[in-house]
Structure 1
C-alpha cells in the first residue's frame, strides 16, 4: 500500500485551543482521524507526525526518504515562511509534496504571504480549514499516479 506522510509543524498540537478565528476548533487528533479515513477511501496509508522542533522535523523528513514514502502533505506552520533547513530537507525527496494551510496565508500578515517551500511543492492549498488537508491528500494521491 502506498504511504503518504502528513507533517504537522510548530504549534499544531494546540489546534482546537489556539486562535479559533483563524484555525477553528478542530483538534490535531481530529484532523489526523479525518486524514486516515480519507486515506483508506483513497487506498493509501496516512502516517502523521507533529513536532515543535525544527531539527526533529528535518530528521523525520530524512526518515521518510529512507522509508520510501510515496508523497508528503505538509503544514509547517510558521516554518513555511523562513525554514530553509526544512526546505532543504524536503528538497531531498523525489516524491510529490503538497503544502497545506488551515487559514488563507495570503489574507493575513505580510510575512505569511511567502512560502520557502513553494518552489519544491507540487502545489499549495490554503484557507479551507480541515478541507485544506483533505484536498491536499487528494492532490498528493493524484500526483503519485
Structure 2
C-alpha cells in the first residue's frame, strides 16, 4: 500500500468558516474524512497534516523523507506565492508531490497567479474545490505506478 502524505497549509483548518463563497461549505474535518475514504478506496494509506506555521510544514516535509512516504499532496495556501523555504523543502525530499488548490488561483487576485512551489512539483491542480485533492491523488497514484 502506497503511503501518501496530505499537507494542508495555513488557514485550511478554517474551511467551512472562512470565505465560503471562495472555499465552499465543506468543513476541514469533512474534507479530511472525504480524503481518507477516497484514499482507502484507491488502496492508498493517507496521513493528513495541517499547520499554519511555515516551519512546521517544512519539518513535516523533511520527516516524510525519513518516513518513506511515497508521495505528497500539498495545498501550501498563501505560502504558494512566496515561500522559497517551502519550495526548497519540497525539492529536497525528492518525493513526487502534487500541488492542489480548492479555488482557481488563476482567476483570483493577481498575486495568487504565480506559484513558487509548483515548479518543484510534478503538477498543479486548482479550481475544483475538494475534488482538487482527489484529482491530485489520482494523478499521484498514476505517477507512482509508472515506476
Same fold at TM > 0.5: yes
C-alpha separation in 2, matches of 1:87 and 1:95: 13
Residue-pair matches, total: 145
C-alpha separation in 2, matches of 1:65 and 1:24: 33
Residue 95 of structure 1 and its aligned partner are, at CA, apart by 2.2
SS of the residue corresponding to residue 128 of structure 2 reads coil
2:75 is the counterpart of 1:75: yes
Which residue of the partner structure matches residue 41 of structure 1?
A: 41
SS of the residue corresponding to residue 119 of structure 1 reads helix
C-alpha separation in 1, matches of 2:63 and 2:76: 17
Task: Give yes or no for contact 1:101–1:129 (8 Å, CA) kept in 2.
Answer: yes
TM-score (norm 2): 0.96
SS of the residue corresponding to residue 74 of structure 1 reads strand
SS of the residue corresponding to residue 74 of structure 2 reads strand
2:135 is the counterpart of 1:143: no
Q: How much is the aligned-residue C-alpha RMSD, in angstroms?
A: 0.7
Which residue of the partner structure matches residue 6 of structure 1?
A: 6
Alignment of 1:13-92 (within 5 A): 13-92=13-92
Deviations for 1:70-92, whole angstroms, at most 9, x for unmatched residues? 00000010000000001111111
The gaps in structure 1 that reach 5 residues or longer are none
Task: Give yes or no for contact 1:65–1:92 (8 Å, CA) kept in 2.
Answer: no
Moved over 4 A (4+): none
Residue 62 of structure 1 and its aligned partner are, at CA, apart by 0.7
Which residue of the partner structure matches residue 115 of structure 2?
A: 115
C-alpha separation in 2, matches of 1:20 and 1:107: 16
The gaps in structure 2 that reach 5 residues or longer are none
C-alpha separation in 2, matches of 1:61 and 1:112: 23
Residue 55 of structure 1 and its aligned partner are, at CA, apart by 0.3
